[in-house]
């Protein structure tokens, strides 16, 4: 039942993105194909159509690299200074390469690459926090963070990255200790953070549409 609830929020984010697509800034338009991919990906996973070697860990590993790359490029686009954008590109690329090394040579392609997941989410948390620091030092007095789409999306990335970091940081402990109750608690956090992310995405897209229509 919970899977259908999470999936409905994916659909909500996609629907709002389609509605606001023509009003969005250029660096937001990639969310449309990305959300289409997410909806398809989550749908096939709900019915275990991606199982290979009795696991869908392989596609989770690849999805993690994709999200790190796209979110990293998005956060870079929010900065005005080219030098800083280049640093974000380098950090994102380094995270993707380290993830590939873990997947291919350390933990294995068919197993959940928890080390890679921790690297990816750590990088995203740091990048978002640095963006927040630069945003809070902005001299624009007319900036309303509550309806500022970049801030809303970055906040969503922060929530989902923190939730996933906690889950993957404790994954090995849960597996080896066979602590089912702790597994439920840990699993809830990334799920709730995903709901928050999709809710903030939906609100950000609506803010784009409202702002452009008001002009």
pLDDT one-digit tens code per residue, 50-62: 887 777 889 999 9
Which position has the higher pLDDT, 188 or 109? 109
Q: Please report where in the chains the tokens 């929020």 appear, as a residue.
A: 9
Residue 121 has pLDDT above 70, yes or no: yes
Say yes or no to pLDDT of 176 above 70: no
Mean pLDDT across 93-119:
94
Q: What is the mean pLDDT of residues 145-149?
A: 90
Contact 207, 23 (CB under 8 A): no
- In terms of Cα–Cα distance, which of 128, 98, 91 is closest to 116? 98
The distance of Cα 133 from the centroid of its chain, to the nearest Å, equals 20
Q: What percent of the chain has pLDDT over 70?
A: 88
Checking if the pLDDT of 170 tops 70, the result is yes
- Residue 203 domain boundaries: 2-214
> pLDDT confidence of 120, banded at 50, 70, 90?
very high
The answer to whether residue 203 scores a pLDDT higher than 90 is yes
Which whole-number Å values give the CA distances from 111 to 75, 116, 194, in the listed order? 29, 11, 22
pLDDT of amino acid 87? 95
Q: Which of 46-50, 144-148, 157-161 has the highest mean pLDDT?
A: 157-161
Domains held by the chain: number: 1
pLDDT of residue 142: 72
Q: How buried is 154 (Cβ within 10 angstroms: 0-12 exposed, 13-18 middle, 19+ buried)?
A: buried
Cα–Cα separations (whole angstroms), residue 68 to 93, 137, 160, 169: 9, 26, 12, 17
Q: Identify the pLDDT of residue 102.
A: 95
List b or e across 119-141, with b for residues whose CB sees 16 or more CB atoms inside 10 angstroms: bbbebbbebbebbeeebeeeeee
- Whole-model pTM: value is 0.92
- How confident is the model at residue 178, as a pLDDT? 67
- What mean pLDDT, rounded, does the chain reach? 89
At 171, the pLDDT band (50, 70, 90 cuts) reads: confident
Residue 25: count other Cβ atoms within 10 Å of its Cβ: 11
CB 17 within 8 Å of CB 207: no
Is pLDDT of 28 > 90? Answer: yes
């Amino acid at each position: 039942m919970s899977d259908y609830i999470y999936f409905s929020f994916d659909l909500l984010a996609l629907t709002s993105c389609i509605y606001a697509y023509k009003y969005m800034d250029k660096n937001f338009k990639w969310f449309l194909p990305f959300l289409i991919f997410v909806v398809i990906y989550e749908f096939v996973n709900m019915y275990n159509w991606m199982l290979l070697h009795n696991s869908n860990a392989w596609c989770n590993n690849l999805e993690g690299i994709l999200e790190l790359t796209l979110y990293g490029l998005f956060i870079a686009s929010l900065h005005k200074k080219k030098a800083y954008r280049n640093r974000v590109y380098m950090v994102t690329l380094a995270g993707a390469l380290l993830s590939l090394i873990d997947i291919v040579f350390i933990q294995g392609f068919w197993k959940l690459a928890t080390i890679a997941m921790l690297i990816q989410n750590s990088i995203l948390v740091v990048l978002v926090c640095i963006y927040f620091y630069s945003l809070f030092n902005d001299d624009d007095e007319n900036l309303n963070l509550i309806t500022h789409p970049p801030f809303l999306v970055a906040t969503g990335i922060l929530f989902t990255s923190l939730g996933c970091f906690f889950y993957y940081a404790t994954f090995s402990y849960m597996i080896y200790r066979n602590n089912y109750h702790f597994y439920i608690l840990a699993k809830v956090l990334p799920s709730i953070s995903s709901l928050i992310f999709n809710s903030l995405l939906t609100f950000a897209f609506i803010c784009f549409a409202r702002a452009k229509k008001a002009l």
